[in-house]
Amino acid sequence: MVSRYLKALILTIVVLFVGLGAISFLDNNRISGISSTIEKNSLDLQESQQLFLYDSLFDDISICNSLKKRIDSGKDKASGILAELENAQRNSLFSGDISLLKRKFLLQNIELYLLIQKSILDCGSENVEQILYFFPDKEYCLDCASQAKVLDSVVAKCDNVRVFAFPHDLDVPVINLLIEKYSVTSYPSIVIKGVKYSGIQKEEAILSKISCAE
- Render pLDDT for 64-90 as a digit per residue (tens, 0 to 9): 777 777 777 666 666 566 666 666 666
Query: Above pLDDT 90, what percent of the chain?
Result: 35
- What is the model's pLDDT at position 16? 44
199: left (phi over 0), alpha (psi -120 to 50) or beta: left
Answer yes or no: do 89 and 102 share one domain. yes
SS3 at position 106: helix
Task: Say yes or no to pLDDT of 60 above 90.
Answer: no
Answer yes or no: do 156 and 115 share one domain. no
Instruction: Note the pLDDT tens digit of each residue in 161-189.
Output: 999 999 999 999 999 999 999 999 999 99
Is the distance from CB of 122 to CB of 52 less than 8 angstroms?
yes
Answer yes or no: do 102 and 192 share one domain. no
Query: What global pTM score does this model have?
Result: 0.74
Please compute Rg for the chain using Cα positions. Answer: 22
Answer yes or no: do 115 and 132 share one domain. no
Answer yes or no: do 95 and 175 share one domain. no
Domain's final residue, options 108, 125, 142: 125
SS3 at position 71: helix
Q: Which residues form the domain of 135?
A: 127-214
